[in-house]
Structure 1
Amino acid sequence: MNDAQGTAAQPAAAQPAGIVNVANVLTLVRILLVPVFVLCLVNGSTAWRYVSLAAFLGASVTDYLDGQLARKRGLVTDFGKIADPIADKALTGAALITLSALGELSGWVTGLILVREVGITVMRFAVIRRGVIAASKGGKLKTLLQIVAISLYLLPPSAGLPPLAKEIVMGAALVVTLVTGVDYVVRAVRMHQPPPDEALGAPVSDEAVTVRGDEHS
């Protein structure tokens, strides 16, 4: 086999994903749905409450879809790594803040959750050079509980949901949010500590890759 044939037989190197792809579009859709969701929620009528719930759930579904598509189709981009967690926090934060502003959710609950979410997001970027901590089962449970709890609060009074039911779910979401936040801090601190090889002067590999859509910590 000559050199030309040998070169042709080798698989082509994977091309980096462009910034304009379906995963990033879904992330942008989630961001654009945030003000739509808030406007529907503050309208006050029963019909608009259901519209706000639909917008919130639709935005939450895009969070799952963009991550799945990014991983399966190789559409991970620097834009997605940054925009995806920001879109998540914007959606959750907007829901909690608006519910508190309407007097339907205690402000201290919103404050604790937001401090945790923003703090962990900042810490994630701070330790990204060392790598990315994989999403834990607790982190995924936290995300699910937050979505369910917020959805219950978005239901209009006419839905007949007992107030205690949504308070219990929100309480569970708050506890899991705080516990997983502490766990994330502990793991981040351990990751930030120099490994034995580095302490001895050996180079540290910098090959960790952030995968969007699986960062619910």
Structure 2
Amino acid sequence: MSAQERTDQAPLWNIANILTMARCVMVPIFVVLAALLHDQVPGRLLIAGVFVLAMLTDLADGHLARSRNLITDFGKIMDPIADKAMTGAALIMLSVWEYVPWWMTILILVREIGITIMRFTILRYGALPANFSGKAKTMVQSIGITFCLLPVDLWWEPARWIGLAIILVAVVLTVWSGLLNVRDGLRLRREALAASHG
């Protein structure tokens, strides 16, 4: 049985896809909590907890999909969308709180949306593989956002600068990995077109 056949036979409502949809549901919940409870320690802990839980479901659904052959076209599309939606919502709320500058948030969002669109548009030439820069970007983004969401700055003002420094590193990694993805995507397209005309 080929990998494609296994993919086609994977049920739509499997545990991996359910976790992905749960992450989608967490996004509006996160936004409401972040809008209402950002100025109190318990609220900030709850907000950070929702974000961390969402990131853990992202790790879990990917692992389950690969290890149990539960990969579906629905999951391929919705998993990155759910991931970007939660990360984007967190960055937007941090900017609304006047914690993270808007230019950082906009730069990260433009890159994430642009690369996601590019991945879908070049699917007919092949899947763009994940690389180290992308994984490093995701890890630093998650760490930086989590640190900023935690209420450390409410009792220790310098924590805000630590959080901003981590987000700045994430911005650099985001731009770098985005440029590498564009390079790899163009090469993939060029090689596929050359093979089809060869």
Name the TM-score, length of structure 1 as normaliser. 0.83
1:25 aligns with 18
Cα deviation for residue 124 of structure 1 reads 0.2
CA RMSD of aligned residues (A): 1.6
Q: Which amino acid aligns with 1:158?
A: L
Cα deviation for residue 182 of structure 1 reads 0.3
Aligned partner (choices 68, 87, 99) of residue 104 of structure 1: 99
Structure 1 distance, partners of 2:68, 2:97, is 41
Gaps of 5+ in 2: none
Structure 1 position 158 matched with structure 2 position 154: yes
1:178 aligns with 175
Structure 1 position 54 matched with structure 2 position 49: yes
Cα deviation for residue 159 of structure 1 reads 5.0
CA deviations 1:129-154 (Å, max 9, x no partner) are 11112111111010000001111110
Identity of aligned residues (%): 40
Structure 2 distance, partners of 1:163, 1:49, is 14
Q: Indicate if the aligned counterparts of 2:20 and 2:78 stay in contact, CA closer than 8 A.
A: yes
CA deviations 1:11-54 (Å, max 9, x no partner) are xx757111010000000111111111112112232211100000
Q: Which amino acid aligns with 1:30?
A: R
1:187 aligns with 184
Structure 1 distance, partners of 2:63, 2:70, is 10
Structure 2 distance, partners of 1:36, 1:155, is 17
Structure 1 position 129 matched with structure 2 position 124: yes
CA deviations 1:56-76 (Å, max 9, x no partner) are 000000000000000110101
Q: How many residues align?
A: 189
Cα deviation for residue 195 of structure 1 reads 4.9
Structure 2 distance, partners of 1:76, 1:36, is 27
Q: Which amino acid aligns with 2:129?
A: A
Cα deviation for residue 197 of structure 1 reads 3.5
Compare the two structures and name the one with the higher helix fraction. Answer: 2
Structure 1 distance, partners of 2:149, 2:195, is 52
Gaps of 5+ in 1: 1-9, 201-217
Q: Indicate if the aligned counterparts of 2:95 and 2:105 stay in contact, CA closer than 8 A.
A: yes
Structure 2 distance, partners of 1:196, 1:162, is 52
Structure 1 position 116 matched with structure 2 position 117: no
Structure 2 distance, partners of 1:176, 1:89, is 16
Structure 1 distance, partners of 2:91, 2:123, is 28
SS state at 1:35 partner: helix
Structure with larger Rg? 1
For 1:70-81, what aligned pairs fall within 5 Å after superposition? 70-81=65-76
Structure 1 distance, partners of 2:155, 2:85, is 27
1:144 aligns with 139
Cα deviation for residue 158 of structure 1 reads 3.2
Structure 2 vs 1, CA of residues 106 and 195 (structure 1 numbering), >3 Å: closer, same or farther?
same
